[in-house]
Structure 1
């Protein structure tokens, strides 16, 4: 079917990349070329006319795709240091977390002073902690005293290789790569294995397969050792490793999940009795009419955003371009932080930034157990969540959406009666109860 160009939606929902790519699609008649040839090659120099390519082409997750790419089911791949190719390529792998897994408890050696288990708020610090605590040895089934050393990280050249990429409507398309730039977050080598790691500091819904496939192809030609591609996330203090293989080294879409393994660096456990005691003893605060009722049903992502803000202040655009959030989700999750008294919005030169309040910074600097009990306390200060959680427990962890809606109406008088909105808010009430209970299952 022929693709017809149309401009993006309201300016308020656009990222900087949306605006820049819309201009490039218009200027270079990109859809016309794709309709005619099936692809379009664009130079880094042409992209740089609007914005730096490293920012314009950083589509780590499907949600990052600029609006024209989403509208026409397109994606982009680097084919050299100075050129990219655009087409209807399938380049994302869905990530599904197995919440039934019980994380393996590990520890950082006592002699390590430079890695603090309660201060792992960057990808590099989380990776270093995973390495020194022996997580990678356990991934490979090795003993802790078997040598496994970090040997590779950062940017490097790919040299030349070719592969096939699957198309959205079926079939495949050949891609030739000539000395593109690749980046590896961590490469770990034992006597028999080489582990390639792509790391993210938050829970994700998917990732760009290229981030594992390009390094996999490069190092397949440089070592005879078994290569283990691993996607890694550090979210809510849980280290989740997704071990993959490529069934066909010449096909990007041949990626297959082998196993998920979870770890936690803590010997502290949270009991349901402690949660119930906090819930019953926490004083209710007055609901503010100025702060919207939460519409974010995955509380893990709220905690992830708090961790990102512990490192630095961010705008909604910063969050949308660098993490697995879009603009709307960035505001929703930041608003949850505001609702709980953990985040505030500040303006500087007409730009709104999210930053942690002193309370939020104090919470995020606590030990594992104290941090999560403090977060539970901040939730239980709000009557709808307190009432719903206690009733959820009494009903054997079951509560209908209709009952959650009723609780919200009874306990919070300033909610929007709009059906779709209040259902989303009821979902938040129910899902937050589940998150709190999962803390006791680690």
Structure 2
């Protein structure tokens, strides 16, 4: 595979623009470079070329040169050495708050929340948003709107600080909820994240702070593996883009049946080992929760490899690893259309993700244990009361004739270990 094939469409288009307008030279000389959307559109639609929700989504030429891009009007962007992302760390010590979903609501299926809107609607109707501010809330706003005019300072990796002037740019608010004392602005993701683009909270915050007298509360919500995680922030300085401080994190889950050891034992005792297709590599995807995130995204819609890489928290290599792992389990299929690879759930994958929480997770456990290596490692763990060592897992993999060399087996043994760990972590 040559380098051009490894690049995304955004990589290729931005390399052309950087060369055409000498962007690196302009940034070096002036500290930043402004570019019109009409110029970006000459290579590819600007809406696809200038929205990077996570650092990993940035085109290679941006990452290689510590650059970011921000909108400053409806038709203009600024590129510079800006620090635009904020890392997100999930506190594993925070217990999930279990909430009941109103029985009278039939139009929302709380076990089938595979879009940001459905997750937000569920959270609101389950009383979760009100619990965040300890006040009843009304669902008052969402969608695209003009930012108005404002200025702010932003951390510049080279010069220290830059000043940015925004003139009627556009921002999109996933949801706004108003109580007696607060306006809660939520940026929602239907997958777990390592970071997020501060702009997605900051621009709406600046807009509505100038419109209402109440305290504006910026919130990041992620819905992943059936858990709602809310990160509540405060901008210490309204004029400082890089001033968000995390006040608290709260996790919620809609009331569901717990998975017991006996449930997993029944799955283990009844599972049948399935011969895997040899043209799909043995999984190298250490985080099974991200497997679930990807399957959830594909339940909502089919995605190309570039769409997964450019829009979600995956880099190009991870997209390959995780889509292959899902295919290995028989839950995702790959089709070629117009020279693009399109990934979609198999019928079995769709059936599993229609199920309520407990049955869905037991089916996923079954899919893992259908593979002989995972089955044996789980069996050893159950018998010995602890996970086998890495060397023991590697030996099992060698004996299973997987068709991969010892060095590769060592890397992929971590996937086996982590997936088995994930199974045990589901047992209450």
Could you state the TM-score of these two structures normalised by the residue count of structure 1?
0.93
DSSP-derived class of the 1:372 partner: helix
Q: What residue in structure 2 maps to residue 17 of structure 1? A: 10
* Pairs within 5 Å for 1:354-369: 354-369=343-358
Rounded to whole Å, the distance in 2 between the matches of 1:347 and 1:324 is 23
Rounded to whole Å, the distance in 2 between the matches of 1:63 and 1:211 is 16
- Given candidates 390, 401, 422, the residue that maps to 1:435 is 422
Rounded to whole Å, the distance in 2 between the matches of 1:100 and 1:279 is 29
How far off its partner does 1:155 sit?
0.5
DSSP-derived class of the 2:191 partner: coil
Q: What residue in structure 2 maps to residue 116 of structure 1? A: 109
Rounded to whole Å, the distance in 1 between the matches of 2:81 and 2:225 is 35
How far off its partner does 1:425 sit?
0.8
Partner deviation per Cα, 1:160-197 (whole Å, 9 max, x = no partner): 11111112246211111111111100000000011010
- Given candidates 106, 118, 123, the residue that maps to 1:125 is 118
* Pairs within 5 Å for 1:43-82: 43-82=36-75
How far off its partner does 1:422 sit?
2.3
Q: What residue in structure 1 maps to residue 87 of structure 2? A: 94
- Given candidates 328, 339, 343, the residue that maps to 1:350 is 339
DSSP-derived class of the 1:260 partner: strand
Q: What residue in structure 2 maps to residue 413 of structure 1? A: 401
Q: What residue in structure 1 maps to residue 24 of structure 2? A: 31
- Given candidates 382, 389, 409, the residue that maps to 1:422 is 409
Pick which of 394-403 and 254-263 moved more: 394-403
How far off its partner does 1:418 sit?
4.9
Q: What residue in structure 1 maps to residue 298 of structure 2? A: 309
Rounded to whole Å, the distance in 2 between the matches of 1:33 and 1:237 is 46
Rounded to whole Å, the distance in 1 between the matches of 2:317 and 2:345 is 19
Rounded to whole Å, the distance in 2 between the matches of 1:42 and 1:377 is 52
Q: What residue in structure 2 maps to residue 387 of structure 1? A: 376
Q: What residue in structure 2 maps to residue 5 of structure 1? A: none
User: Cα–Cα, structure 1 residues 173 and 396, in superposed 2: closer, same or farther, change >3 Å?
Assistant: farther
DSSP-derived class of the 1:60 partner: coil
* Pairs within 5 Å for 1:262-273: 262-273=251-262
> Unaligned regions of 5+ residues in structure 2, if any?
none
Tell me, yes or no, if the aligned pair for 2:174 and 2:188 is still in contact at 8 Å. yes
DSSP-derived class of the 2:289 partner: helix
How many residues of Structure 1 are paired with residues of Structure 2 in the alignment?
427
* Pairs within 5 Å for 1:168-317: 168-169=157-158, 171-317=160-306
Rounded to whole Å, the distance in 1 between the matches of 2:308 and 2:222 is 17
Tell me, yes or no, if the aligned pair for 1:13 and 1:328 is still in contact at 8 Å. no
Rounded to whole Å, the distance in 2 between the matches of 1:167 and 1:440 is 46
Tell me, yes or no, if the aligned pair for 2:256 and 2:357 is still in contact at 8 Å. no
Tell me, yes or no, if the aligned pair for 2:256 and 2:358 is still in contact at 8 Å. no
Pair 1:162-2:155 in alignment: no
How far off its partner does 1:353 sit?
1.1
DSSP-derived class of the 1:172 partner: strand
Tell me, yes or no, if the aligned pair for 1:293 and 1:415 is still in contact at 8 Å. no
Tell me, yes or no, if the aligned pair for 1:198 and 1:232 is still in contact at 8 Å. yes
Tell me, yes or no, if the aligned pair for 2:377 and 2:387 is still in contact at 8 Å. no
Tell me, yes or no, if the aligned pair for 1:266 and 1:368 is still in contact at 8 Å. no
Rounded to whole Å, the distance in 2 between the matches of 1:289 and 1:382 is 13
Rounded to whole Å, the distance in 2 between the matches of 1:230 and 1:108 is 22
Tell me, yes or no, if the aligned pair for 1:415 and 1:422 is still in contact at 8 Å. no
How far off its partner does 1:232 sit?
0.7
